Structure 1
């Protein structure tokens, strides 16, 4: 990770920037602490004073998965002094898609949980912000393959932006170009390697196309490349994410698994 990104200045008072609410929790009887994902500052902690009051206009704005434009100003240091809690001066709806419904809302919370657990505070990632904004509408796709491709594309961008994704066009140990006709595996410790055992296998051609799409910065090209190998790519990226997240399971994924078990037991 680029250490130079960690220390950033708070924005000027009243200067607006796009943001998304990742999480919120009570701070007082009338106020909230927000975990915002902003384009200019990355993930920041923000106090929204008065947001819980019944007549507050912020109640309808500070919702997850909704693009908003916020104005922030300097706040106070946390108890540890490691990060600054900014103050929310204003927030307005920034347009875009409505809130996801049905199963898509679990996918949305899954994206939020990945950002909360893997992205350091005040570490700007404008490209990742754009990828998140592009992924949310993809969750509304009518066919499951399109929404799954959107999830995989975001996972790839996240891992790449925080420095945890190897160059997918090269064999990591030898730094030689991949053979398109051969199969490879993604190892959390060793990168792109020859597959062994029951590891998820991805063709060299698929990995080369994924790397090209990431370097080109084309969301459409990345979606297309992801769509060619969805089951194997899902398994491979799940392995990488589980390794870097540690042993604690993602809450959103566990909820989805529990819900699926409940539905299965009720199926005649």
Structure 2
């Protein structure tokens, strides 16, 4: 198989053998792809190593069979996205999330666009926490685990902004009855996420807690390095 001129982002790059890099890439048409950039760590390489970095929009070509392919083409498609500090941590969180939840060779038709838009929003200075919640919501939908945000899963009635709900994993929201073990979230927060309308700070905290719990379930109860890093940093929550 050979693919040419495919829009892509590099999620992670690590040394592979003595002179190569193993690139984990998110591509528009092929989902997550593992690509070996052979010889790119040599002093002279046909591919500029400097462009094979996260946050750089690329067009890649690869060929081969199996789970790992060989890089045959790489060029930039736009200027790199400039981020630093908290926004850079947020971008690395996105990369880790996609790496952990998306298998190689499993295309998701809208994921690349959602990822690209999220990076553009972060780079443009849009509110980080809300930008991440929107991506997490869209990622869950892309993976086939879309959230129920607009109706009570028990009664079928529309969500009310005045009601507090318990979000039942694998089902959705239902009226909260005081169960301390349930994920408590206000109807106003659910509707904000459903309508793509930025919530107020308190609702944002509720949505962060909800999405963290739902994503952790998809991780098999595991955690992310970005979450551990965030908990050790004395700054406002974004992930």
Q: Could you tell me which runs of 5 or more consecutive residues in structure 2 were left unpaired when the two chains were aligned.
A: none
1:180-259 equivalences in 2 (<5 Å): 180-195=161-176, 196-197=178-179, 199-203=183-187, 205-208=188-191, 210-211=193-194, 213=195, 222=196, 225-228=197-200, 229-259=203-233
Aligned residue pairs total 229
Q: Is the 8 A contact 2:137 2:147 kept in 1?
A: no
1:202 Cα offset (Å): 2.4
Q: Could you tell me which runs of 5 or more consecutive residues in structure 1 were left unpaired when the two chains were aligned.
A: 1-9, 78-83, 214-221, 262-268
Match of 1:7 in 2: none
The farther-off stretch of 99-108 and 147-156 is 99-108
1:136-147 equivalences in 2 (<5 Å): 136-140=119-123, 142=125, 146-147=127-128
In structure 2, C-alpha distance between the alignment counterparts of 1:180 and 1:252, rounded to whole Å: 32
Q: Is the 8 A contact 2:164 2:184 kept in 1?
A: no
**1:122 aligned onto 2:112:** no
User: More helix per residue: 1 or 2?
Assistant: 1
- From 89, 92, 97, the equivalent of 1:106 is 89
Could you give the per-residue CA deviations for residues 75-124 of structure 1, whole angstroms, max 9, x where no partner exists? 243xxxxxx21221111112145232112111111111111111122111
In structure 2, C-alpha distance between the alignment counterparts of 1:90 and 1:163, rounded to whole Å: 32
Could you give the per-residue CA deviations for residues 10-54 of structure 1, whole angstroms, max 9, x where no partner exists? 5x44x2111111112222211111111001000011111122123
Match of 2:33 in 1: 44
Q: RMSD of the TM alignment (CA)?
A: 2.2
In structure 1, C-alpha distance between the alignment counterparts of 2:83 and 2:35, rounded to whole Å: 24
SS of corresponding position for 2:81: coil
Closer/same/farther in 2, CA of residues 227 and 51 from structure 1, 3 Å limit: farther
SS of corresponding position for 1:256: helix
Closer/same/farther in 2, CA of residues 96 and 149 from structure 1, 3 Å limit: farther
Match of 1:166 in 2: 147
In structure 2, C-alpha distance between the alignment counterparts of 1:140 and 1:227, rounded to whole Å: 21
Q: Is the 8 A contact 1:70 1:92 kept in 2?
A: yes
